[in-house]
Amino acid sequence: MQIVHYPHPALRWVSKPVREVNDEIRRIAGEMLELMYASKGIGLAANQVAMPLQLFVLNPKSDPNQKEGERVFINPRIIDRKGLVEEEEGCLSLPGIFAKLKRAERIKITATGLDGQPFEHEAEGLASRAIQHEVDHLQGILFTDKLNPLEKIRVIMKIREFEKNFRHGQRAGEIPANDAIAKSLQELEAAHC
């Protein structure tokens, strides 16, 4: 398992709900948490590891030794948003790109946990921002899509560099072609959704 970088097609794939929370889903979530910590992230969506599942992991402390902040959200849905705050944001699939973005200050989310049980969770500050960021990922939306025009201009050259490197990797055979990626995503959907 590895984090895919923009413009990998999985990042634009609208994830499907997980059909059943089973040992395979728990294994995937565990690997995602390990990868998130290794990458110094605070959240990671399944699309970012080329899995089209409505699942993301989160720990705003970004510390594997502080498990109390660790959460897994399966089939999440934000049901309430309050306030508005503009803060800097980044993404493990767009490393090195940071930009200011407005998001709700507080949110309430419903999801299913690794135990297969539904739960509600309220978050504010960094946790709220991270949850909104990851829920966007599951809809195929990147934080750069939501930037104001000035912020977009500021990061456009870095984004184009990611596109150039991705296409080079495909031509060199290091990254599969888009149709092969789409086939793989469809197979994963059939297995889990």
Active site residues: 134
Residue 47 and residue 89 in contact, taking contact as beta carbons nearer than 8 Å = no
Rg, C-alpha atoms of the chain = 16
What Å distances lie between residue 98 and 47, 68, 101, 146, CA to CA? 20, 27, 9, 13
Q: Which helix (H) or strand (E) holds 13?
A: none
> Phi, psi at residue 66, to the nearest 5°?
-115, 70
The number of C-alpha atoms within 13 Å of 100 and in the hemisphere containing its C-beta is: 8
